Each structure stands twice: as structure tokens, then as C-alpha cells.
Structure 1
Amino acid sequence: MRERWLRDALQLAGLPSPSTFPRAIVADAQKVLRVSFVALDEVTGHTVRAYLSRRGCKSMPEGNDRDIHGCIVALQGTAFLFYSRKDSLEDQRFTAAHELAHFVLDHLVPRQKALRFFGDSILPVLDLQQKPTQEELLTSALDGVPLKAQIHLMERDDLGDISTGDVLRVEQRADRLAFEWLAPEAVATQVMKQGPHEERIARLQHSFGLPPRKAEAYARVLAQREGAPRFSLSSVLGERNPG
């Protein structure tokens, strides 16, 4: 059974159910959401700033010129989603889905929350056309409502992992939503049941086009959900004892 936050995010995003796998996540997302996916030869703070500058965008990430897997710059209900061409096709697919998940979870969901709370009067504030009142600033701080451009960088370490030490809750949820788009639980569970137990990771990887390490992580998620009623997402997705 899907968690409520996951059901809500899937509904808000409105992506169509995939007809084939591996899923064409970029094409599907651009049909229903105001997002632009951008593949760069190298994703760094410099290349992202240069790309946005050429398009007259003033909301650009500062600093961090390390090589990264992907990046999102979101504002006014829209986003640029960057990913690296030099990554494998499987990694590119997962990065695109992961960054799209950040757009939905960390931008669209709080934006929807603000509109429900304040009404359409908050739109000029959300769109940076008007300064927020003290009440709006307080609500933003308490409820995580974005009142400025949002930037997220999916960094890499030598193993290609998110290099933030402990895997934060926001990253766990982005991964979980990305998995649900690329390999819906109902379908992936059936794939896991086919053939020898030892091949389940390989079946996930090849059936849904997941990177090997992500297929391994998702296999553990599905195994936990099948066998443990008190499932802990952090214990499965967090490979380094998340706090």
C-alpha cells in the first residue's frame, strides 16, 4: 500500500501510467508538467549558470562547481531539470526522475499548500512579484512554503552516491517517488517474484532500466514491504545509518 504522501504526490504530478518499460520519464513528464529537461555534457554550477544566463534567468545557483549528477532550478511552478550526458542511460533516467520528484515534493506540494491556505492572493509572493508580509514569512518558515527560487544539486561521490553523509528524509522521499514512476510497486513486485531469488536485482535493473545500485536499493524496499509490516523507509534507502 502506498503511503499517503506518495499517493498525493503522484496525483498532483498527474503523470500518465507507463505503457512500456523502461519508462520514457522525460517525455511523459513534459506532457503534463511545466518542466524542461536539459542534458549537459557536464553538470556543474558554472555550466548551469551559463545555460540559465543565456536564457535571461536571474535565479542561478551560486558556488559549487563540482561535477554533479543533476540539478533542479524551480520557480513559479516551473523548473529546469539538468542531468549529465556522460552518465549511463540508466543513471540519466534515474537522475531525471529524482530531480522531477524534488520539483513535485519540494516545490509543487508546498506551493499548493500555500494557495490553499492564503488563496490566489499569495501568487504574486510565490512568483517573486511582491514581497511577503510578516504573516506570510512566518507561515513560510513554519510550513516550508517556498517564497523564492529553489535549487537542488544532486551531488556525486566516487561511487556515484549522494555525498551528503546521512541520507536525508527529503532525499529518501525523492528516491521513493522516482522509483514509483520508473518501476511502480505493483508491477515491480510481480517482476521480483519471477525466477530465482538471487536474480531479483538483475530483473529489476533490466526490466525497468534502473542503475545497479538503485535496483539493489529498491529490491530491499520491496522485500521489506513484503515481509515487514513496520516498514522503515530510512532503514532501507539510507545506506549510512540515516539520522
Structure 2
Amino acid sequence: MGMVNNYAVSVAKEFWSATGLSTEPPFDIAGAVSLLFPIDIVQLSELSTAKIDHWFSARNVNIQTHVQDRPLHGFVVFSRGVGFMFINGTDDEQERRYTIAHEVSHFLLDYKIPRDKIIKKLGAEVEEVLDGIREPSSKEMVEGIIKHVAVKPFTHLLEKEGDGSFENLQVYYAENNADTLALELLAPASRIKAETLKEKKKLSHTDFCKICNELLVHRYKLPTQIATDYAKVLAYRATGGPSIMDKLGF
């Protein structure tokens, strides 16, 4: 579970501001993604890497996941400025909504924002390198090092290995960052705290968790386990953690 941070708050606010969609929960994350970005959202039952490879092959699209087959909740692949987002259609609505938020967070944090930054620093001609059309020139490589940007293509980032472990620290941090932004997109921390404390200015850690969890599940439509974990994070931030009485069950 990613922690709330100012950068995620800023990105989420900019995201929703650009959509012009209703600000009343549950937020239309799928509609927002389709409105803002050249991303096709594809639902496949019992999603797996093999099914994604087959989907591309059947459409004569030269993209492959290049990983061992395994089940997935979601997957996003980027190519030449556009994306394909695959969602497990077998999951329930709450899980699918969270998956879309998580995958678009990857699109923003791991692809679009870094890509825009590189183009701004090195010029529009570097798009050919980022899209894998050509290799970077020596000049572009040097400029990339000097300006602290990676001049190379990026297509996808699978979150975990088949056994559920993270492949490396880069993937671990990317997943945490995507979770953080996904939560801020679907249930902004400051708004959730205000609504949880709506009736009382102060709550115990236990009461905050209970009220917050119900709010996240029923009003903001988060998956049950994610709502429970997020409520605990927000409760610690709002109350400083459980008191001795809370720990004793009173």
C-alpha cells in the first residue's frame, strides 16, 4: 500500500481537472482515461499474459509481453505515444475500477510524464528513439546523461513474478507509486479524511478506521481489502495510531 504524498496529490488533481467530469464519487475512472488519453481499454475474461499475446497476434499487432504465462488483474502496454490497457473482465466492478486506476497510474508515472520530460529537454526529434524507431545518437546519449533522463524506449512494466514477488527494486517502487496514485485518483486522502470526520472533529483510531472503511467501500467503491488497508493508513495519519484503549479493545 503506497503512502500519500504531495506529488500523487498534484498529479491526481491535474488529471481530474483536465477531464471536466463530475466530482461526485464514485469517480468515472474508465471514462476519464478514454477522454484524456489514446488508450484502448480491453476487457478479457480470466486475463493472462498468453491471452494478451493472442489478442495482439489476432490483430496482426507486433507486440508481445515476452514473459511466462500467468494470470493478471491488469496490464498496460505503451507504444509510440499510445497504450492498450487490459483488464480482467472476470473481476468484480470494484476490482476492475481499481485496476484501471492502477494501470493509468503506470501510464502517467512510468511513461507519459517521463516521456514528456525527455521531449521537453531534448526536443521533438527524440520521439523516434522513445518509440523504438531508431537508436539514440551519441549526442542524444550525452545530453540524456547531462540532463538526467533515460533516452530509450519503454513499453511495459509487469508488476510481479509468477509467485507474487517483485522482479527488482525498480518494479517494487513503480508498483508502490502506482498504488499511491491510484488511491488518490479514486479516493483523495484529504477528501476522505474530511468526510470521515464530518460528524465529529476527533475520532479514535478504531472509530476512524471503521467509518473510513465503510465510506471507501460503499461511496467510493474501492475493493474491500484495499479499502481496509487504505483506511488504516489514513487512520494513522489522522489519529497518530491506536491508543492503549484501542489496543485493549475498549
Q: TM-score range by the shorter chain?
A: 0.7 to 0.9
Check the 8 A contact 1:81/1:99 in 2, yes or no: yes
* 2-structure distance, mates of 1:112, 1:74: 14
Amino acid at match of 2:158: L
Among residues 117, 121, 137, which one is paired with 1:117 in the alignment?
121
- SS class of match (1:221): helix
TM-score normalized by the length of structure 2: 0.77
Unaligned 5+ segments in structure 1 are: 229-243
* 1-structure distance, mates of 2:57, 2:141: 29
Among residues 139, 143, 153, which one is paired with 2:158 in the alignment?
153
Encode CA deviations 1:53-86: one digit per residue, 9 max, x unaligned: 2233212201221111111111222111111011
Matched, 1:180 2:184: yes
- SS class of match (1:68): coil
CA shift, 1:219, in A, is 1.4
CA shift, 1:42, in A, is 1.8
Shift of the 192–145 alpha-carbon distance from structure 1 to 2, 3 Å rule, reads: farther
Shift of the 16–173 alpha-carbon distance from structure 1 to 2, 3 Å rule, reads: farther
Among residues 211, 235, 240, which one is paired with 1:223 in the alignment?
235
2:99 maps to what in 1?
Answer: 95
Unaligned 5+ segments in structure 2 are: 200-206, 241-250
Among residues 82, 87, 107, which one is paired with 1:83 in the alignment?
87
Q: Which moves more between the two structures, 10-19 or 83-92?
A: 10-19
**RMSD value over aligned CA atoms?**
3.0
Check the 8 A contact 2:73/2:87 in 1, yes or no: yes
Q: Which moves more between the two structures, 132-141 or 31-40?
A: 132-141
Shift of the 184–43 alpha-carbon distance from structure 1 to 2, 3 Å rule, reads: same
Give runs of aligned pairs for residues 163-242 of structure 1, distance below 5 A. Answer: 163-164=165-166, 168-194=172-198, 196-197=207-208, 198-227=210-239
Kindly name which structure, 1 or 2, has the bigger radius of gyration based on alpha carbons: 2
TM-score normalized by the length of structure 1: 0.80
- SS class of match (1:59): coil
1:239 maps to what in 2?
Answer: none
* 2-structure distance, mates of 1:126, 1:74: 11
Check the 8 A contact 2:8/2:181 in 1, yes or no: no
CA shift, 1:33, in A, is 1.0
Amino acid at match of 1:174: A
